[in-house]
Amino acid sequence: MKGLCFSLPSLRASYARGLRAEDVAAEALKRADAYADPAVWIARAPADEVLARARALDALPAAARAKLLLFGVPFAVKDNIDCAGLPTTAACPAYAFEPKESAYAVQRLLDAGAVLIGKTNLDQFATGLVGTRSPHGAPRSVFNSDYISGGSSSGSAVAVAAGLVSFSLGTDTAGSGRVPAAFNNIAGLKPSRGLLSTRGVLPACRSLDCISIFALTPEDTAEVFKQAAVYDDEDPYSRTRLADAPFVPGGSFTFAVPRPEDLVFFGDGEAERLFNEAVQRLESIGGRARRIDFAPFLEAALLLYEGPWVAERTVAVGSFIEAHEAECDPTVAKIVLGGRTRSAVETFEAMHKLQALQRKVRTLFAGLDIVVVPTAPTTYKVSELEAEPIKLNSRLGTYTNFMNLLDMAGLAVPAGIGTTGLPFGITLAAPAFSEARLIEIGARFGAALGLAPGAPFLGGAEADEGFLELAVVGAHMSGLPLNHELTSRGGMFIERTKTAACYTLYALAGGPPFRPGLVKGETGAAIELEVWRLPRAQVGSFLAGVPQPLVIGTVDLASGRKVKGFLCEASGLAGAEDITSFGGWRRYLERDKAVAG
């Protein structure tokens, strides 16, 4: 069970081979217990109830099981969404209450056979894009625990990225279903407003709120969306799902990208590089790029927090916060209670402005299939958010805050791993009811990228005979000149780690391309490297291009694991420079750049 993948296709294949829902539920409970970050969960479903539900599913006749399209699939729910039997707290213990029934969308998923594992952490009252505004702690990025996971749906994203559940529900008013997806290398679908009923969801901005879906892949979000997107007579904001605009799956498409002068990354050069590479990758799968004036989108984004819509948060929980301010997060309280200063005149002025912006955006979409933006312009450490909670949060919403105001659907997808070892993501967006189009293009983009979804350790745990794990220490690493030799063959990034402390690293003579040589000895140091998964069908052609004196041998990792990787024959060290003290090829290259500069 250790290597069991919780993606929907993998689970279905395992069930077809005889795996029981009880086995999967037990494994999900075990993973939730063992996961190192205690801030992911606010409440867990009692283990005996989870296992009892799974056994009841196993006991169903085969015909009945076949009708349950989410049979035995473990999932989690953000704790501002009601689940019968568990309290709803919105990350504020003083607010807690026991709902009599599950939210409409949750019940739809339970009726389809899914198994609830628990309620996840969030920015209190779903106010924030950071994941640090909770008395239960800040769920951390699955790539680096110094960094935020993004919010407000922080725990929901981490639960999926860490392989604890197959999918999770979040909410998305300002970007909370997309930013955490980008920071954890998974897919996040923000459906059109009203397609997933928000009955049973504690409002943030009720007229804008959406339930979002996190999963490992766009295809998995589509499966959940199909089950949950059902019209609800009792939700005044519910809308009937309309047919997607005409679009030919697998064909060419036109996508808009903000003009260079409209793009901001707040000094994050890696995010800028990865976004430009994503644009090129979209073109490689049949996309035609068009640069557009992004000003209408940015103007609309400012209305969400700098305009009167913040008062809608005051309507939702302002009275409670005023009565319990000492028990609430101070940043959340400041934002929510700030709505008291907004006037009716401001509201109507903003509504009129938004109407004009919506018209401009509809005009821009003539001849376009989607708009593509960075999901977030950069990311931050938890310590940085604690120092500047509002300013940095605002930056994270640069490319997300406009979407619900402009009545758009959005899909966040992974777009690469930077040289920092942190993931980057893009968002595909289009007018309401375009989910099928976004998911189809998102899936094609993911296939072209070839990046294993979720946490780095997921890829390693789920490696199978169809793939070879390969350690690379030089020009084949992410963002370096020969990385394309891996990605073009379907190579998938697994993790950035180090060797055991018994290796020497050399800068070999010759080039370009300039190459390092890794040599194992009795003593040495731990050298930084990356582990990739390469389809075995592609291994032969890759090895054919490995030049002497480099060879593929067994590399010992700091964790004690052994993988195949690049080593150097002793005969190739003539004229080489010992660069072990740098700890890795990247730091050596940075030294060279500094000297050249």
Average pLDDT over residues 246-255: 81
Residue 459, pLDDT above cutoff 80: no
pLDDT digits (tens, 9 = 90+) for 37-75: 999 999 999 999 999 999 999 999 999 999 999 999 999
> What is the pLDDT averaged over residues 231-236?
97
Residues with Cβ within 8 Å of 587's Cβ and at least 6 positions away in sequence, in order, are: 528
Of 179-193, 277-291, 373-387, 411-425, the poorest mean pLDDT is in: 411-425
> CA–CA separation, 103 vs 125, rounded Å?
17
Q: How is residue 179 written in tokens?
A: 């930013």
pLDDT band at 593 (very low <50, low <70, confident <90, very high): low
Q: In 3D, which of 36, 332, 27, 289 has the Cα closest to residue 158?
A: 36
Q: In the numeric block, which tokens belong to residue 62?
A: 């085969």
Q: Quick check: is 564 catalytic?
A: no
Q: What is the pLDDT of residue 306?
A: 87
Between CA 96 and CA 82 the distance in angstroms is 11
The span from the CA of 54 to the CA of 32, in Å, is 16
Q: How many CA atoms lie within 13 A of 316 on its CB side?
A: 26
Q: Is 8-456 a domain of CATH 3.20.20.70?
A: no
Q: What is the pLDDT of residue 460?
A: 43
The pLDDT mean for the chain works out to: 93
pLDDT digits (tens, 9 = 90+) for 489-515: 877 777 788 999 999 999 999 878 789
Report the C-alpha gap between 464 and 534 in whole angstroms.
11
In angstroms, the CA 69 to CA 114 distance is: 9
From CA 220, how far away is CA 325, in angstroms rounded?
A: 40
| Percent of residues, the chain, with pLDDT higher than 90 | 81
Average pLDDT over residues 452-478: 76
The model's confidence at residue 216, banded by pLDDT at 50, 70 and 90, is very high
3-class DSSP assignment, residue 288: strand
Flag whether pLDDT at 465 surpasses 60. Answer: no
Q: Residue 149 gets which letter from DSSP?
A: -
How sure is the predictor about 439, in pLDDT bands with cuts at 50, 70 and 90?
very high
- The catalytically annotated residue of 7, 141, 166, 176 is 176
Question: Taking the alpha carbons of 56, 121, 270, 393 in that order, is the dihedral positive or negative?
Answer: positive
Q: Residue 318 pLDDT > 80, yes or no?
A: yes
* CA–centroid distance for 287 within its chain: 23
Report, in this order, helix, strand and coil percent for the chain, each rounded to 5.
40, 20, 40
Query: Can you tell me the distance from the alpha carbon of 466 to that of 459, in angstroms, rounded to the nearest whole number?
Result: 13
Question: From residue 211, how far is each of 228, 391, 485 by CA, in Å?
Answer: 10, 26, 39
Tokens matching residue 193: 């407003």
Round to whole Å and give the CA distance between 40 and 137: 8
Distance CA 255, CA 57 (A): 44
Q: Would you call 267 exposed, middle or buried from its count of C-beta atoms within 10 A (0-12, 13-18, 19+)?
A: exposed
Q: Residue 492 pairs with which residues in a beta bridge? A: 533
C-alpha dihedral (516, 520, 524, 530), degrees to nearest 10: 50
Helix (H, G, I), strand (E, B) or coil at 557: strand
Catalytic residue flag (residue 152): yes
Tell me the pTM: 0.82
Buried b (16+ CB within 10 A) or exposed e, 100-116: eebbbbbbbbbebbbbb
CA distance 71 to 57: 7
Please indicate whether residue 78 is annotated as part of the active site.
Answer: yes
Q: CB neighbours (10 Å) of residue 397?
A: 22
**Amino acid symbol at 46:** P
For residue 430, the surrounding DSSP H or E stretch is: strand 423-431
What pLDDT score was predicted for residue 243? Answer: 67
SS3 263: coil
CA distances to 57, 149, 165, 167, 309 from 115, rounded to whole Å, are 9, 24, 9, 11, 36
Tokens at 359, concatenated: 């018209």
Q: Give Cα separations from 405 to 300, 413, 420 (angstroms).
A: 7, 21, 34
Confidence of residue 246 (pLDDT cuts 50, 70, 90): low
In terms of Cβ atoms closer than 10 Å to its own Cβ (0-12, 13-18, 19+), residue 68 is middle
- According to CATH, what is the number of the domain 463-596? 3.10.490.10
> Which of 7, 78, 190, 434 is labelled catalytic?
78
Token reading at 550: 């480099």
Region 72-86: mean pLDDT is: 98
Q: With contact defined as beta carbons under 8 Å apart, do 15 and 73 qualify?
A: no
What's the pLDDT score for residue 245? 59
% of the chain surpassing 70 pLDDT: 96
Every domain of the chain and the residues it spans = 8-456, 463-596
Work out the widest C-alpha separation in the chain, in whole angstroms: 79
pLDDT in tens, 384-435: 999 999 999 999 999 999 999 999 999 999 999 887 889 999 999 999 999 9
Q: What pLDDT was estimated at residue 462?
A: 42
